[in-house]
């Protein structure tokens, strides 16, 4: 049975898939909401829509292949028409935390090479302030302990992400994720981002600023709201 949350995610993902037009180049996001976008986009491709896509993760690549979406290597393009991706939190200025699914680095690269980013979320992702959701950082495994110490020296607490099996989670790029847990929601994400970026072992943060275009919010009754 579909949960109310799944229904909301599906509504957002399906609504985004309806916006895709013939011959577009599309970045496919990662996560449970992006799953529904890929599912419906696959249906549209099987019905005759011609597009080509690139993926922000191996998982979405596999889903796209299964769904019948023509998927290309990322280096087939240097620019894309559109990326459609989920978010873990988004505030009224469309600042986001992403990377709950561990794909933040590729997601940010693909978002940055896209002319537009459509964000697909369920209502619960809308927040007044960012920071209740842990902020993921993609860090290189070389000297990761020194990098973690550096992050902690800035006053941030957190942990290296683990798999269910208790091993370190490894990203598609072969790196680690350190999730920062803020004691309370934050007022200065740009300043925090600036501080963390100075650490050489940190490849990318899960803060996404100035990237979100349309935001499609799904509700558990199956309705959607589109904020431009």
Kindly state the smallest distance separating residue 6's Cβ from ligand 5RP, in Å.
Answer: 10
- Determine the Cα–Cα distance for residues 40 and 52; give it in Å rounded to an integer: 15
List, in sequence order, every beta strand (DSSP E) within the chain: 25-28, 52-55, 80-85, 89-90, 96-97, 114-122, 135-139, 158-160, 176-180, 202-205, 207-208, 215-218, 224-227
Burial 138-176 (b: 16+ CB within 10 A, else e): bbeeeebeebbebbeeeebebeebeeeeeeebebbeebb
Nearer to ligand 5RP among residue 71 and residue 88 (C-beta): 88
Q: Does 218 bind ligand 5RP (CB under 6 A)?
A: no
Per CB under 6 A, contacts with ligand 5RP among 28-57 are 29-33
Which of 2, 18, 89, 107 is catalytic? The answer is: 107
Q: Report CA-CA distances (Å) from 203 to 47, 56, 98, 112, 206.
A: 40, 16, 14, 15, 10
Alpha carbon 42 to its chain's center: 20
The one among 27, 99, 158, 201 contacting ligand 5RP by CB under 6 A: 99
> Total residues at the site for ligand 5RP (CB under 6 A)?
17
Find where tokens 């050489």 sit.
200
Among 87, 139, 215, 217, binds ligand 5RP (CB under 6 A): 87
Spell 108-136 as b/e; 16+ CB within 10 A means b: bebbebbebbbbbbbeebebebbbebbbb
Told to judge if 225 belongs to the known catalytic residues of this protein, a careful annotator would answer no
Give the range of 18-26, 38-46, 79-87, 216-224 binding ligand 5RP by CB under 6 A. 79-87
Nearer to ligand 5RP, 30 or 55 (CB): 30
Site string for ligand 5RP, 101-130 (x = CB under 6 A): xxxx--x-----------------------
Beta partners for 191? none
Task: Please pick, from the candidates 98, 108, 161, 214, the single residue that binds ligand 5RP as defined by CB under 6 A.
Answer: 98
Task: Choose the stretch contacting ligand 5RP; rule: CB under 6 A; options: 37-45, 68-76, 86-94, 197-205.
Answer: 86-94
Shortest distance in whole angstroms from residue 55 CB to ligand 5RP:
12
- Under rule CB under 6 A, residue 27 binds ligand 5RP: no
Return the active site residues. Answer: 107
Contact footprint for ligand 5RP (CB under 6 A)? 29-33, 85-88, 98-104, 107
């Amino acid at each position: 049975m579909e949960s109310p949350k799944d229904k909301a995610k599906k509504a957002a993902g399906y609504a985004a898939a309806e916006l895709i037009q013939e011959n577009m180049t599309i970045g496919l996001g990662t996560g449970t909401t992006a799953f529904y976008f890929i599912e419906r986009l696959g249906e549209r491709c099987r019905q005759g829509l011609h597009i080509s896509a690139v993926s922000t993760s191996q998982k979405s690549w596999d889903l796209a292949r299964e769904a019948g979406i023509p998927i290309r290597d990322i280096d087939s393009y240097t620019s894309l028409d559109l990326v459609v991706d989920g978010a873990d939190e988004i505030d009224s200025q469309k600042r986001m935390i992403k990377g709950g699914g561990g794909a933040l680095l590729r997601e940010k690269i693909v978002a940055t090479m896209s002319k537009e980013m459509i964000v697909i979320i369920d209502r619960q992702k809308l927040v007044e302030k960012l920071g209740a959701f842990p902020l993921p950082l993609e860090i290189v495994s070389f000297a990761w302990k020194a990098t973690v110490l550096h992050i902690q020296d800035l006053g941030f607490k957190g942990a290296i992400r683990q798999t269910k099996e208790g091993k370190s989670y490894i990203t598609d790029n072969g790196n680690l994720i350190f999730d920062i847990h803020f004691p309370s929601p934050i007022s200065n994400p740009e300043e925090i981002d600036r501080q963390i970026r100075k650490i050489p072992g940190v490849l990318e943060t899960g803060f996404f600023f100035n990237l979100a275009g349309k935001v499609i919010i799904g509700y558990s009754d199956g309705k959607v709201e589109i904020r431009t």
